Amino acid sequence: DADVTQTPRNRITKTGKRIMLECSQTKGHDRMYWYRQDPGLGLRLIYYSFDVKDINKGEISDGYSVSRQAQAKFSLSLESAIPNQTALYFCATSDGQGAEKLFFGSGTQLSVL
């Protein structure tokens, strides 16, 4: 089983719809992140959380919100989806130790029509 699981893997939605992307992890890490990846651009941080009571905005948080329901769960919501939110979304975790390397989920390809 994957250590970082994202659902759904693919989603097509319409402009104006609310959508939630979910992430769960079995690595026992406190730190969780949401990134988006667009062709020709580097990964961009949307939100991050260092523990259940900690939520921080990243570089591109406008139009997104998050919820850290438990240490293992971190969900990303698009309140009213727009076409330029079409992207590949990744959840990631880290243990906050040493190099703090990231462990990524398999990604969610979101298309907003």
Which chain residues interact with other proteins by CB under 8 A? 4, 40-45, 59, 90, 99-107
Output the smallest distance, CB 95 to other proteins, in A: 12
Q: Could you tell me where the DSSP H helices lie in the chain?
A: none
- For the sheet containing 64-70, what is the strand order? 4-7, 19-25, 73-78, 64-70
When the beta carbons of 8 and 16 are compared against other proteins, the nearer one is 8
Output the smallest distance, CB 45 to other proteins, in A: 7
- Taking Cα atoms as reference points, which of 102, 63, 104 lies closest to residue 86? 63
Output the smallest distance, CB 81 to other proteins, in A: 22
When the beta carbons of 15 and 72 are compared against other proteins, the nearer one is 72
- Residue 70 in contact with residue 51, Cβ under 8 Å? no
When the beta carbons of 9 and 14 are compared against other proteins, the nearer one is 9
Output the smallest distance, CB 107 to other proteins, in A: 6
Tokens of 50: 């260092």
